[in-house]
Chain A
Amino acid sequence: MNSVILSTTARLLLPLIVILALFVFNRGHNEPGGGFIGGLLAAIAFTLVEKSAGVEYARKVLYFRPLSIAAFGLGCTLVGGLWGGIKYGYFLKGVWPFITKLADGSKSGLPVGSILLFDFGVFLVVLGGVLGILFTLEEVVASETDLEDS
């Protein structure tokens, strides 16, 4: 895992894959994609960096602690749920403040609302959860010596 080429490529690819992941996440409501898939994709991007350039670097690039990201994501899903709960009285009911329903049944407007927030929460939970375990496992494995060597 000390290949310079891989390491460099991974660093270069990271922003691209993360942007791709966000794109996949955003289009998820209408095309294949969504929070789960986007989150996994982003997690794979960071996994690539972690495997090639080390945990420390990956943590630095991620900036936030993975478990904090996961917790924040969980908070996002909760807020997304409460939003509909407060507005309509039904927990998790979708709220679309920028969408208007036209007379012929079609819609226009920006597809941003509680459901997107909810899906973003899923994205963050998957990303944070996977990376949280990955980084910890990697660190712990690296810090412990082999039992058989002793």
Chain B
Amino acid sequence: MEIMLAVLAGALVAAGAYLMMNGKTLPYLFGLTMISNSANIIIFASGRLTFGKPPLVPEGEKYIQGAANALPQALILTAIVIGFGLLVFALCLAYRSYYVLGTIEMDQMHSSEPGTEANPQ
């Protein structure tokens, strides 16, 4: 599974980056989601994989041996929620920028940039 997870993480990052470079706000958000998913997988797998033994101390015991690594799980759990918050905020921003600027093309949103001429693509 390690190889698969590594491939998946790479594939998610690549797909995410490709979508982010699309230049439109909605695919950008898709890409963002994928990259944060990939980050979660990377953190999770870095704590090593343990099949089917959650880190729950059984009733009557004081601790548990050989369970899945709990620390990355705690980190990912908050990361997912924070990532969700970020994504939703970005979504609101994309939505509002479409209404204010009248475009979803990110390359046309440069009212705060020094060179008014956009890079011809």
Contacts and interface: CB of A to CB of B under 8 A. Distances in A.
Please determine if A and B sit in direct contact within the complex, based on CB atoms under 8 angstroms apart.
yes
Nearest to B85: A129
Interface in A20-35: 30-32
B43 interface: no
Contacts of A133: 88-89, 92
Interface string B51-74: 000101000001000000000000
A32 B95 contact: no
B120 interface: no
Contact of B95 (A30, A36, A137): A137
Given A137-B95, A141-B95, A126 B54 contact: no
A144 B99 contact: yes
A32 B70 CA distance: 12
Interface residues of B, number: 16
Given A141-B95, A147-B99, A32 B77 contact: no
Interface in B58-110: 62, 77-78, 81, 84-85, 88-89, 91-92, 95, 98-99, 102
Contact of B54 (A32, A129, A137, A144): A32
Contact of A147 (B62, B88, B102): B102
A105 interface: yes
Contacts of B84: 130
Nearest to A34: B77
Interface in B19-58: 54, 56
A31 B81 CA distance: 20
Interface string A108-148: 00000000000000000010011001000100110010010
